[in-house]
Amino acid sequence: MADKVIVLGSEYVSSAVKKAQYPKDELPAVAFIGRSNVGKSSLINSLLNRKNLARTSQTPGKTQTINFYKVDLKIFRPPTHPSGVNPQAPALEPPPEPVLEPSPDPASEAPRGTVEGERRAFYVVDLPGYGYAKTSKSNRTAWLKFIDEYFSSARNLLFACLLVDIRHAPMDSDLDMFNRLVRLGVPVLVTATKADKISHAAQERQLDLIKQTFGIAELDVLPYSSTKNEGRSDLLDVIADCLLQ
């Protein structure tokens, strides 16, 4: 389990409309997928502590290409006892995370004290949304082919973050996408966006409804607010744990 995760930097790398345009290196990746306008690009900006790295819009269908962002993390683990057990050692405090805008100078991030962080790089992949009402049927078919191509050929994909709006039950298109990912063997983390738009009590109710609709009682659904950065450290922890495995 990661103790603290710091985003050292992030940069746009490339956009793709076909496989030949995907980055050629072997870096691990986390892909973000969900209905148009659900908040994928906003969540990516929040996660990476950037205002405008991924382009957001009130008009659905903003993201039309597969966009790759390279991210550098520093991951701090709790100190482990040489015997392998982890006794109640006094906690070594990792440094607080600074506000990064734009990407900070990594040198200024050097941890203080004796805690050594591990650096890991990975891709954040912003995928175009589905369920956009104004899209034609042929566009939809092309979109599905495009997305299937990505998920069936993506190498080193850690997991897909499937975003649903916390205010609504997942729709058929969300269930289709979930099942598609499961069939392709892609691990899925369901994330409920725009959590700031409802009260904490309503969030609990909606999280239950989302689990029920996906039909998996033990499904972990992570609430997220991009405007308040809520859920950010949980999501960074999940990514860091996958990267360290």
Q: Are 208 and 178 in contact (CB under 8 A)?
A: no
- For ligand GTP, the binding residue among 11, 14, 23, 60 (CB under 6 A) is 60
Q: In Å, how far are 1, 79, 81, 185 from 88, measured between CA atoms?
A: 15, 10, 10, 38
* Residue from 61, 79, 104, 111 in contact with ligand GTP (CB under 6 A): 61
CB closer to Mg ion out of 40 and 180: 40
**From 94, 129, 170, 223, residue interacting with ligand GTP (rule: CB under 6 A):** 129
CB of 141 to ligand GTP, least distance (A): 18
**Residue with smaller CB distance to ligand GTP, 8 or 44:** 44
Q: Which residues pair with 5 in a beta bridge?
A: 75
Please give the Cα distance from 46 to 64 (Å, whole number).
Answer: 20
Using the rule CB under 6 A, is 226 a contact of ligand GTP? yes
Q: How far apart are CA 52 and CA 24, in angstroms?
A: 25
Interaction mask 41-70, Mg ion, x per CB under 5 A: x--------------------xx-------
Q: Binding segment for ligand GTP among 14-22, 52-60, 180-188, 208-216 (CB under 6 A)? A: 52-60
Chosen from Mg ion, ligand GTP, none, partner binding at 194 (C-beta under 5 to 8 Å by type): ligand GTP
Q: Which of residues 168-197 bind ligand GTP (CB under 6 A)?
A: 193-194, 196-197
d(CA 205, CA 198): 10
Task: Tell me if 203 contacts ligand GTP by CB under 6 A.
Answer: no
**Residue among 55 and 183 whose Cβ is closer to ligand GTP:** 55
Q: Determine the Cα–Cα distance for residues 195 and 112; give it in Å rounded to an integer.
A: 34
Which partner in ligand GTP, Mg ion, none is near 203 (CB below 5 to 8 A by kind)?
A: none
Burial class (CB in 10 A: 0-12, 13-18, 19+), 233: middle
Of residues 19-38, which lie at the interface with ligand GTP (CB under 6 A)? 34, 36-38
Question: How many angstroms separate the Cα of 114 from the Cα of each of 79, 83, 122, 158, 241?
Answer: 10, 20, 26, 30, 21
**CB-based contact 155:186 (threshold 8 Å):** no
Which option in ligand GTP, Mg ion, none does residue 170 bind, with CB closer than 5 to 8 A by kind? Answer: none
- Pick between residue 49 and residue 243 the one whose CB is nearest to ligand GTP: 49
Pairing relation of β-strands 118-126 and 157-165?
unpaired
Could you tell me which residues come within 8 angstroms of residue 102 by beta carbon, excluding any fewer than 6 positions away?
Answer: 50
Within 8 A by CB and 6+ apart from 16, the residues are 22, 65, 66, 68
**Which positions lie near Mg ion, rule CB under 5 A?**
40-41, 62-63
Please give the residue ranges that form the binding site for ligand GTP (CB under 6 A): 34, 36-42, 56-58, 60-63, 128-129, 193-194, 196-197, 225-227
